[in-house]
Structure formats: C-alpha cells, structure tokens
Structure 1
Amino acid sequence: MKDLVVKDNALINASYNLDLVEQRLILLAIIQARETGKGINANDALTIHASSYIKNFNVEKHTAYAVLKDACKVLFDRRFTFQSITSKGNVKTTHSRWVSEISYVDNEATVSLIFSPAVVPLITRLEERFTTYELKQVSQLTSRYATRLYELLIAWRSTGKTPIFEVDTFRQQLGVATDEYTRSDNFKRRVLEVAISQINTFTDIAVKWEQHKIGRSISGYSFTFKAKYSSKAIENTNNNEIQATSISPKQIDLFSKKLAHDLAFASKYSEIGESYENFTQRIYHHLTDPKKLKEYAPYLKQLGFKQ
C-alpha cells in the first residue's frame, strides 16, 4: 500500500510554523497510524523509528538521529491556528498544540508522540472534506515552504486552480514569520520561487503562479497546476481495452482506491467537494460497468493493472 498522508482541509488551510523535520515527523506519524490500523487518538502514543525517516527522506543515519532528537525538543511547543464552523453557522477560531506529549528514546532511535485532542479529528475524520497525497510526492522537497505549498495546492486538485490567497493569510499558512521576508521581492525570491521550483522538479504536478495587486501593492497570489502526465497522452496508449471479465473483485477494490488517489484521474473525474470515500465508492461501481471500464483502462494500466 502506498504511504498516504490524509489531513482534514481545515488542517491543510491552518496557519502554523513547523520546520522541515517537524513537518516530516508529523507526516510519518499519520502514516504510521494508518499502516498499523491503530488509528489516532489523544491517549495512545505513536512510535516513529529513525529508519522510517531514513528510508522515506533519503538521509544518513547519524543525520536522522540528530534531527529527530532536536525536533522532539521543540515540537511540543509548536502551536497552530485553524477555523471551523459551529452548529449555529458561526466561524470558530481554535489555537492548539500539535502534540500533548513527545519523547525520544536514544538507544532505540525512536520518537513517541501523542497528538493533541484538537488535531486528532482533523487527521482521522475522513468522511468529510480532506486532502490526501502520497508521501513520496514531498519526500524530496527540502524547503519547508514547498511542502506546505504543495498541500495547499493539492487541496484544489479537482479544479487545478486556487482562489486568490490573500497575502497575510498566505504567509501564515506557509509558516512565514511576521518579521521574515517582509519585502515582497524577498518573499517571492526566497519563499515562493524556491517552493515552486522544487514542486515542479520533484512532485507530480506542474505549477504556475500569478500575483494580484490593489493599486501598486501586491494583495495576493493565485496558482494553476496540472498533472505532469496528460490525460491525452494516457488516452493515446495502445491496447487500452480491458474486458469486464478480466478484472477481479479484489482488483476492483484495489484499483478504485488507486484511481481515487491519482492526480490526473481525480482532476478529470472527481466532483468538487466530494469526499475520498464517496469518490472511491463511485469508482468501485464504475469498474463493474464495461463501458466505464473501457474509459478508465488507460489510467488503470498506468497504475500497473495487468489482465
């Protein structure tokens, strides 16, 4: 199974300031909870071994040990802010820590952490709107701003374009401190251009950006992006037809999930606001339909389907 990172969109759009190692540690903890089937709660600790960090982010052993130990010292004090809607339809702003407890075991090279009560539902609540992506898409990003920008963008993968992100809110979402890169040219050169360059080089999407002004001042930024392999190229693949009798129930279950996570497929077929579970279920039923199976065949073969 692919290492999938799943976050509620309230958390994706939250304002927080984590360095690169801390972001990676949070992502590994999310994946660990999914892989073990333990789930995430505010009582039980999740354990991340340095070997997982080494494997996923291609760093030296001594480097992994050192950065994880340092991350434990500061992650407990990290806070973030997010918004939600109350039962009466009002906006509620919540301030929370990421973790309620974190520790590092020297002789075992492991990090043990417990997410705070506010974080738990934002990571585990899959029936509502959320964002999911493969860890490998951000594993080569070395800018902490690149990882955050990728998450903000991928939340809009069904449309391939974002609304205008207002400057102050956007800076907070990326984790840029109020006293950092205060000049717009520095922000663009040191934050935005570096992040976009890394995303375009190392991830599955190609991004373009546009700045917006009110008078002479920059008021915000918007982005458009697309999957790096086009639907047209996929559709031109030879021998795309798949017979309904050649796909087993087990394959239907497996590839309905794979298709739901595939950016090119989701960009074309997902509906705005549709949850991952609903999208997966819709694909599942489509894969039992010979006409839909033929339509989806190019994507299935790109994802490794063999008759």
Structure 2
Amino acid sequence: MKNELVVKDNALINASYNLEVTEQRLILLAIINARETGQGITSDSKLEIHAHDYASRFDVSNSGAYKALKEAVNNLFDRQFSFKEPDKQGNLGVVRSRWVSRIKYIDATATLEVTFAPDVVPLITRLEQHFTSYQLKQVAQLTSKYAIRLYEMLIAWRATGKVPEIELSEFRNRLGVGDNEYTAMNNFKSRVLEPAIKQINEHTDIVTTYEQHKKGRSITGFSFKFKQKQIRTEAKKDKNIGDFFNRMTDSQRLKFGSKLAYDERVQSEYSHLIGTGNYEQFGQLLAEMLAEKRHFEMFFPLLVEHGFNV
C-alpha cells in the first residue's frame, strides 16, 4: 500500500458522528482522492472511488467492495454529523451537516462518485491551521468503527502523547455511540472502549492506555496516554547496506526524504525539526541526512517499506 496521507481539520476529528466501518473507509478514500488530484476541491468536485481500490487497500474481497460501494449510495447520503464552530466574536455554535451533497454508483465500472457537502470541504482541505494527518495504512486493518474514531482522537495529541480528560457524554458522542447504546458502563467498556484499544495496539503505529475518572463512585470521563511504536532498525542480515547506500542517487534521496517526512514514526522521532507543519523543508533535511551512512542505515527498514528497491 502506498503511504497515502489522510488530512482532517481537528474540528472534524472532534466532531460527533456515527459512521459504520465501510462508510468511514469510503470517506477516507475520498479525502485521499481529493488531496491527490492536485487541483484542489470544492463543493462541486466529483470524487471517484473504485471498488478495486477499496478491496486492495482494506484487504477485502471484490464482492465485499462492490457491496460496500452500493450500500453507500443510500446509507452515506443519509449520514449527518455535528461540530462546534466559532463566530466572528468567538462564540461557539453547533453546526449540523450531511457528509455528502451528492452521491452516485456506476454499476458498469463499480465506481462510487462522491461530492462532499459545503461544510465538509474546508474541514478536509484547510491545512494552514490546526490539523491532524496520518497514513491510511494505520487504520486499514481496524474493523471496529470505534477504533478508527479513537485512533483519530488520539493522534490529534501526537505532540504530547497525552489526551486530557474527555467528559463521558462528549466521549460517547465523538465515538458515535448512540444515547441508547451501551448505557451500562461495563457494556461500554467491554463492547466499545477495550476492543477499540486492543485493535489500535495490535494494528496501528501507537500503543495506548486509558485512565478512568470518577466523581464519587460514578465514572465521569476518560483520559489517555500513548506512545509511538519504535522504528525497526534491524536490517536484513543477507544484504550489504553499504552497497545500497553507495547506489542511492541524489534524486532518490529527495524522493524518499519527502516520503519519510510524512511518516508518523519519523515525525515523532524528529518533531523538533519539522517546524510549523513545513513538511517540504523537513523532507529536504531528511534527504541530507540520507547522504550520511549512519542515518541511511537507521532509516533503511523504512526506506524498504516506502518502496526503496533492494
């Protein structure tokens, strides 16, 4: 899988919505499509999602992908979400919006055509302010809709590795748990929270734990701590890394420096070098680091992962 970057405004990360796993995946693919066009996105843009892309990225059968796209025509069109937005005076108001304003399934080509609603467009394209980014592969193996939402909430705090206490009703809303779902705390923890954490710890690039906060005997909220999994630095024993280092060209260093700049594991390790979201300069700096053998050896496993030909 290519290292496709998903970028969402933090207002959307913190929004309240209830999307099934297939619907969340389709939204993520549409976001990637919007970024990769290189032409920007408006509320009139028609973004295509092909069944074969869905199948390959999320390791499902072709028939499962066809079914997901067909069902999205009705289900995704009806979905709504809410988020908080300040007015010019800084007063917060709650916005309710659909995800898409238009959706079409083309059976002959197994293609879904999506047009994002006007309120969604700036939330997935506005990068100059507060945003969260991650690679699609980090959530590709998550089968719990709550795990995907929780992962996004956690990495919005990637700089600190700590998520301050979220009040229980707000936390349930962000996860998309209905008012009448899992009302007993033991059911909420055993059916929602703990399975989500288990999937995140097994299948993503972070490991997380939670702490519950109480008022008297009642749980009133949760906070989280998480850390990045360590970069694997062991190279293949049967390969001479020095040969690969000597063969790497300047253009390859620039190419893979740019790729490494968007890798969360590298970002976590070198966050002090990124600056204010300037990944282009960060990529150039990494390219310079790759010209040194000790850095090349350290990054070698990631270079292979990002497509460096060995």
The TM-score bracket by the shorter chain reads 0.7 to 0.9
Whether the 8 Å contact between 2:55 and 2:62 is mirrored in structure 1 is yes
Give a deviation string over 1:251-302, Cα, whole Å, max 9, x none: 45434433332233322332599643x2542453475479x96885565333
**Contact preservation (8 Å) 1:256, 1:280:** no
Which region of structure 1 is more displaced relative to structure 2, 31-40 or 247-256? Answer: 247-256
2:213–2:222 Cα contact (<8 Å) kept: yes
Task: Return the TM-score normalized by structure 1.
Answer: 0.86
For 2:86, the equivalent position in structure 1 comes to: 85
Helix, strand or coil at the partner of 2:78 = coil
Q: Distance in 2 between matches of 1:159 and 1:302?
A: 26
- Shift, 1:78, TM fit: 0.9
Counterpart contact for 2:207–2:227, Cα < 8 Å: yes
Distance 1:286 1:197, change over 3 A: closer
Cross-structure match for 2:100: 99
Contact 1:158/1:272 (8 A) holds in 2:
no
Aligned residue type for 1:99: V
- Give yes or no for the alignment of 1:14 onto 2:15: yes
* Partner Cα distance (2:270, 2:224) in 1: 21
In structure 1, the partner of 2:281 is: 281
The DSSP-based 3-state class of the residue aligned with 2:174 is helix
Is structure 2 residue 280 aligned with structure 1 residue 301?
no
Give 1:187 shift.
Answer: 0.5
CA deviations 1:142-198 (Å, max 9, x no partner) are 110011111111111121121111111111111101110011111000001111111
Cα 1:293–1:282 change in 2 (3 A) is farther
Moved more, 244-253 or 258-267: 244-253
**Counterpart secondary structure, 2:123:** helix
Stretch moving more, 54-63 or 249-258: 249-258
Match of 2:187 in 1: 186
Answer yes or no: is the 8 Å Cα contact 1:75–1:98 preserved in 2: yes
Structure 2: segments with no counterpart, 5+ residues: none
| Aligned residue in 1 for 2:161 | 160
Distance between the aligned counterparts of 1:167 and 1:298, measured in 2?
46
Q: Point out the more displaced range, 252-261 or 177-186.
A: 252-261
* 1:137 is aligned to 2:116: no
Query: Structure 1 224/78 Cα, relative in aligned 2: closer, same or farther at 3 Å?
Result: same
Distance 1:272 1:120, change over 3 A: farther
Per the alignment, residue 227 of structure 2 pairs with 226
For residue 173 of structure 1, what is the aligned residue in structure 2?
Answer: 174
The C-alpha deviation readout for 1:101-158, integer Å capped at 9, x for no partner, is 0111122211111001111111111222211111111111111001111111111112
Q: 1:208 to 1:79 in 2, by over 3 A?
A: same
Report the CA distance between 1:250 and its aligned residue.
3.5
Q: Which amino acid aligns with 1:205?
A: I
Worse-matched range after superposition: 252-261 or 108-117: 252-261
Return closer, same or farther for 1:293/1:174 CA change in 2, 3 Å cut-off.
farther
1:149 maps to: 150
The residue type paired with residue 281 of structure 1 is: Q
Check 1:83–1:254 CA distance in 2 against 1; reply closer, same or farther (3 A cut). farther
Instruction: Provide the C-alpha distance between the structure 2 equivalents of 1:107 and 1:223, rounded to a whole number of angstroms.
Output: 46
SS at match of 2:141: coil
Q: Which whole-Å CA distance do the structure 2 matches of 1:240 and 1:43 have between them?
A: 49
Identity %: 50
**How far is 1:17 from its partner?**
0.8
Aligned to 1:107, the other structure's residue is in SS state coil
Does the Cα contact within 8 Å between 1:287 and 1:293 map onto a contact in 2?
Answer: no
Number of equivalenced pairs: 302
Asked if structure 2 preserves the Cα contact closer than 8 Å seen for 1:16 and 1:80, the reply is: yes
